[in-house]
Chain A
Amino acid sequence: MPLNIIIILGIIGLYMLACLYLGILSYSRAKSTVEDYLMGSREFKFFSLFCAVYATNISAVALIGGPGLAYHVGWVSWAYFASAWAWLSPMLFYTIGHKSWVLGKRFGVMTISDLFFERWNSNFLRYLSSALLLFYVIPYVMIGFIGGGRTFFGLTSGYIPYWLGALITMVIVTLYVAYGGMRGTVWTHILETLVFVIGATIIFFFVAGIFGGFASVTQEIVAKYPELLNRSKMSTKLFFSYGVIVSLAVPMFPQVYLRLLIGREPKDLKKTILLYPFAGLMIWFFMAYLGMWGHLIIPTLKGAASDNILPMLLAKTAPAWMAGILGATIFAANMSTVDAQLLTVGTMFTRDFFFPMRKGKPIEKFDVALSRVLVVAFSIIAFIASLIQPAGIIKIIEWSFGGFACMVIPMLAALYWKRCNKWGALASIIVSQFISITLPIGLLPKSIAFGMLPGIPSLIGGLVALVLVTCLTPPPEKEVNQRFFGALDKGQAG
């Protein structure tokens, strides 16, 4: 094995061992309760909470898909991904996250479906919403392992085969999630945030330096690829609809929503919301320019091949240690999302399905053990799927953003519209998810989207269904409403 590959593997290995160490270390602080294992006893202060939310949200898409898109469309890639999301999602962290946090403290709410149950007292609504969210989120765990396998393969020029790379990623993530639970993932998220923020910054300035500075590289782009500066490669309808869909989807990612509930006090969430937009913008901004500049050195990539622009650019221009930093940065972004998703899938199964169906008293030690077993089981299933890579699962990923975004309508109605009843929420979920899934596969005419992403008509359909059905059916039970909104009023005052 060549020396440069050994250096790259050494840096990535150090990073992974550090994650494992933190996960196992966090185990020593664990209490044998479900609340502690799944939610870390909701005791995280500002910086831990910020890292948990941020690292969960920033996935390998930012470090692979971001530069890959910018390679073809130019700087507008950062605006496409981040200009609306970086501030609209934090706004929803307040409008949805803060009230949910209050309900979490009062009723022990952990998941989106939990909140729907508390609001409308409907187990059917709980099962349906949870099943839909799981349908979208489980394939993402598989994508995380695929990302791990491909990154190992790419950075080591095939010395680590794809299957082994995916296996290493799976084993490390599963160990620290199963051991450490929420506390383990949050501790690793702190490390992961530092790795990918510092790593991305180093790479950004290093590559700018190679070209002789920002002005110099931009002059080259103006001369050779002016289309990368004028946004002509990006349709305005796609730009607008993507901004809306992503911004609404992020707080409804079950793994992000769950982390909005783990802060110790409201001030921790406030500070997180204030820092989040800058951190979000920074990562997409750096990645977009790196991808665009990469076009100057490697100009012939077609389609999805541009996803490899960053490793290829560094392989051509940088020493091995820099490629090692890139590898650790990509793994930090990837693993921070996969671990959060894995724990969230376990949480949703235990909380949304097992607990409501169980008869008899809860046994904390058994429940914690069950949560751990579920984490390991889902991880193994996702790993096997990552080896097979079924086409159907990849399709679900394409639907998922619209599917998540549509859940924001019943969520906002649950928190702000007292008249809204379970029938309205149910209609909204069914109509919006139906449009979101059937439009891309051609069961509904694509013309109803007016050139925008399917999520936009799905959102409109969901909103209309919610209002119409709510108005045509009786109001919700008074006692349930009083209990729910009374807890909110009390909690916010406190």
Chain B
Amino acid sequence: MIIRVDWWWWGKDFKPWLGGWLTWPEVYQLLIFVAGYLLVWVVVRKVWESDSESQ
């Protein structure tokens, strides 16, 4: 599972960082999404395939 480590900076001010638009917590949130997506990808491409082959 993806572990969130951003609770401690919840509610704190951050200056826009990426492209003068996104703050670090926003980027971090997007990274969580990317990690989640990788998990989906691995399940679909690896687990699902081997699941079917092992039957």
Contact = CB atoms under 8 A, between A and B. Distances in A.
B16 A215 contact: yes
B8 to A, nearest CB: 10
Given A90-B40, A230-B11, A270-B48, A215 B21 contact: yes
B3 to A, nearest CB: 12
A91 B39 contact: yes
Nearest to A234: B10
Contacts of B23: 229
Given A226-B13, A236-B10, A493 B55 contact: yes
Contacts of A490: 55
A87 to B, nearest CB: 3
A219 interface: yes
A232 interface: yes
Nearest to B32: A83
Contact of B36 (A87, A273, A492): A87
Contacts of A218: 16, 20-22
A274 interface: yes
Contacts of A86: 33, 36-37
Contact of B37 (A87, A219, A270, A492): A87
Contacts of A83: 29, 32-33, 36
Interface string A242-281: 0000000000000000000000001000100110011001
B55 A492 contact: yes
Contacts of B20: 214-215, 218-219
B16 A87 contact: no
Nearest to B23: A229
A75 B41 CA distance: 26
B43 A230 contact: no
A79 interface: yes
A277 B37 CA distance: 7
A232 B40 contact: no
A91 B43 contact: yes
A395 B33 CA distance: 32
Interface in A65-101: 75, 79, 82-84, 86-88, 90-91, 94, 98
Interface string A478-494: 00000000000110110
B26 to A, nearest CB: 6
A260 to B, nearest CB: 14
Contacts of A31: none
Given A86-B33, A492-B55, A230 B12 contact: yes
Interface in A34-92: 75, 79, 82-84, 86-88, 90-91
A184 B14 CA distance: 49
Nearest to A216: B20
Given A215-B16, A229-B23, A274 B44 contact: yes
B16 A219 contact: yes
Interface of B: 7, 10-16, 19-23, 25-26, 29, 32-33, 36-37, 39-41, 43-44, 48, 51-52, 55
9 contacts: A87-B36, A87-B39, A226-B13, A229-B13, A229-B23, A230-B11, A231-B11, A277-B33, A281-B33
